[in-house]
A and B are shown apart, each in its own frame.
Chain A
Amino acid sequence: MKPVPAAPRRRRKRLDLTPWLFLAPAIMFFLVYVVVPIGQSISISFLEWDGLGEKKWIGLQNYQDLLKDEAFYVSLKNNLIWLVLYLLAIPAGLFLALFLNQTVTGMRLYKSLFFFPFVISNVVVGLIFSWFYTPDFGLMPKIIGFFTGEEIAVLANESLATYGIVAAGLWPQIAYCMILYLTGLNSINPELVEAARLDDAKGFKMLWYVILPQLRPATFIALVVTVIGALRSFDLVAIMTVGGPWGSSRVLSYFMFEQSLSEYGTSMGYGAAIAVVLFAIMLVFITMFIVRMIIQERTA
């Protein structure tokens, strides 16, 4: 008998097409809104362009300027401060979650009070903290003044402004990490904790050897959102200090906006170069996260 290869081949072709059809919408949006803009940013970073007029190819000139620009190093340093201090949100969130993970009457009310900063907009958070720091009527200068006899205007101080903004940013971020940890704590098998009690694991030992390893997925997510949140910080800087005083609280994303889109500058090429640098820094962390995820999936 003659073999009939036609029918199976057609079926195979259809099977090959199906996953692509399902992926198509996502791929399309990802291309249009993520991949193409990345490419565009990179290509614009090689130009001198005011956004409307003529484009001029200047090669790596923008990057060379960047390396000589003091403001760039200030932004980079501030991003580093953001990154390091923002990570405090993870242990703080864990502590709050452990504290709130009790059965006490009215605990739901207390929990919702702790959720509150996560619910309100970052703009509102920035405003509240600005008022809190304000020299005339703010609470913070009064408190500091009471103890030291000298009132400090945090946001007007070159060396303190960034720390003041990070503190404001930590408020909702701690709430976010706390939510992640609370759901993680909920999914721990209570018999496991009881077994550990019988195994004489108490207090810190219980936390370190039994609870924390169970919370590793929550810790991982908290780390990812906190690192990325620290690197892309923009809104609080824009609301609270507008990068000041004298540009001392700029971060890369705000510096980029200032150079290319604000009233102070329209150099699209220079702004794009800053964006590319920020993207490269993020890429390092994102690659680390993805590699870790792949390793975990393989070993699990």
Chain B
Amino acid sequence: MAKVKLSGIRKSFGQSEVIKGIDLEIPAGSFCAFVGPSGCGKSTLLRMIAGLEDITHGSLEIGGQEMIDVAPAKRGVAMVFQSYALYPHMTVAENVTFGLRMANHPKRDTEQRCLEAARMLKLEELLDRKPSQLSGGQRQRVAIGRAIVRNPDVFLFDEPLSNLDAALRVEMRAEITRLHAKLDATMLYVTHDQVEAMTMADMIVVLDKGMIEQVGSPLGLYHEPNTLFVARFIGSPRMNTFSVNLCDAGDGNVSCMLPGGSSIQLDGSSLRTGKATFGIRPEHLDVVADGHLQGKAVLCERLGSETMLHVDIGLADPITVKADGLTNVTEGDAVGLKLNPKACHLFGPDDRRVRSGSLQ
């Protein structure tokens, strides 16, 4: 268990800078997920922590020790790769113990740790098999076993579940969460799947274009996104956003001109007048006869427990509304939408938050 501290980390490939100065402190024992769209630098960042990529500029501390010039194997980290990266010519047991054997670790303890990891991951029956004789989920567990036996201070996962089918992914998610509780180690987890990040992590780092957009707890990011990017990235289906005009309504309130001509009064906005971006999540819109917004349902996706309505309110794109699973709205119906004022987010012209819709 160790703390990971990044300060002023930068990385360039030739002319292009892909990581543009990252400061981050990950407390010991936490489960931290790096999320972001592809190309945001999240995998590169993880590989820099592992030592597989050089750090162009900045400092990296693991457990209070500077690691910039330390070899990957000596950093006390273990990594689980997206392609599992199992040695195809070795059996499961040989794969799991390879790192210990390379370090000339005592034989008896090596076997002990291998058996322990196998028991933990239900691999006992498979120890003599080659990777080609295993299913995807089993291979993933071997890759995790290889990380466990090394007893690392920090586990690094690089999109480990993206090659598995949906059912197996749910199962492995629970398994990794269980391991985290049991092993008491710091885990860094890269994913593009926000569901994985939301369900597993206690700390999420949202990255975009090589920079940190926001760091916070899963619910913190969901309810109080600092920027428009985070607001749109976290949550599925994503937050509805459209531009509005603000004017001061007195008493600390602002009045928002909504599409369609009506307006809503909101409190607590630091921006008083001018253009802003209005954001509201699909579940905070209620279908009513006469609401703040008027539109026409263009698509109804009935999922059973809920119905996703795509409502055209005169904008370029329809907005999404999460309605009851048994709603009787059908395509072509005129619908009114009521906004919950406590759930309305406002973002200023620089895309930073000026009002939080955290429901409080």
> Which residues of A approach B to under 8 Å, CB–CB?
189, 191-192, 194-202, 205, 209-210, 213-214, 216, 300
With both chains docked as a complex, state the minimum distance between the C-beta of B75 and any C-beta of chain A, in angstroms: 9
Any chain A CB within 8 A of the CB of B87? yes
| B321-349 CB contacts (< 8 Å) to partner A | none
Q: A192-B87, A205-B102, A214-B88 are in contact. Are A198 and B50 (CB under 8 A)?
A: yes
Whether the pair A195, B85 counts as a contact (CB closer than 8 A) is yes
Any chain A CB within 8 A of the CB of B266? no
- How far, in angstroms, from A117 to B243 measured CA to CA in the complex? 68
Q: A191-B81, A205-B102, A209-B98 are in contact. Are A197 and B72 (CB under 8 A)?
A: yes
With both chains docked as a complex, state the minimum distance between the C-beta of B139 and any C-beta of chain A, in angstroms: 13
Whether the pair A199, B102 counts as a contact (CB closer than 8 A) is yes
Whether the pair B98, A199 counts as a contact (CB closer than 8 A) is yes
17 A-B residue pairings within 8 Å (CB atoms): A191-B83, A191-B85, A192-B85, A194-B81, A194-B85, A195-B79, A195-B87, A195-B146, A199-B98, A199-B99, A199-B102, A199-B150, A200-B71, A200-B73, A209-B98, A214-B89, A300-B132
Contact with A along B85-124 (1 / 0, CB 8 A): 1111110000000110011000000000000000000000
- Cβ contact of B81, chosen from A195, A205, A216, A300, cutoff 8 A: A195
| 8 interchain residue pairs of minimum CB distance | A200-B73, A199-B99, A191-B85, A195-B85, A213-B89, A200-B102, A191-B81, A192-B85
Interface centre among A201, A216, A300 (most CB of B within 10 A): A201
Q: Which residues of B contact A201 (CB under 8 A)?
A: 98, 102
Q: Which residue of A lies closest to B143 (CB)?
A: A195
Interface centre among B50, B78, B85 (most CB of A within 10 A): B85
The interface size of chain B toward A, counting residues with CB under 8 Å, comes to 27
Any chain A CB within 8 A of the CB of B245? no
Given A194-B79, A197-B73, A198-B50, 17 more A-B residue pairs with CB atoms under 8 Å apart are A191-B85, A192-B85, A192-B87, A194-B85, A195-B146, A198-B51, A198-B78, A199-B73, A199-B102, A200-B73, A200-B74, A200-B99, A201-B102, A202-B73, A209-B87, A210-B87, A213-B89
Q: Which residues of A contact B72 (CB under 8 A)?
A: 197-198
Any chain A CB within 8 A of the CB of B168? no
- How far, in angstroms, from A210 to B95 measured CA to CA in the complex? 11
Q: Which residue of A lies closest to B81 (CB)?
A: A191
- How far, in angstroms, from A192 to B85 measured CA to CA in the complex? 5
Any chain A CB within 8 A of the CB of B217? no
Any chain A CB within 8 A of the CB of B52? yes
Whether the pair B50, A200 counts as a contact (CB closer than 8 A) is no
Q: Which residue of A lies closest to B103 (CB)?
A: A200
Whether the pair A194, B73 counts as a contact (CB closer than 8 A) is no
- How far, in angstroms, from A202 to B103 measured CA to CA in the complex? 11
Q: A197-B52, A199-B99 are in contact. Are A213 and B73 (CB under 8 A)?
A: no
- How far, in angstroms, from A199 to B78 measured CA to CA in the complex? 8
- How far, in angstroms, from A216 to B90 measured CA to CA in the complex? 13
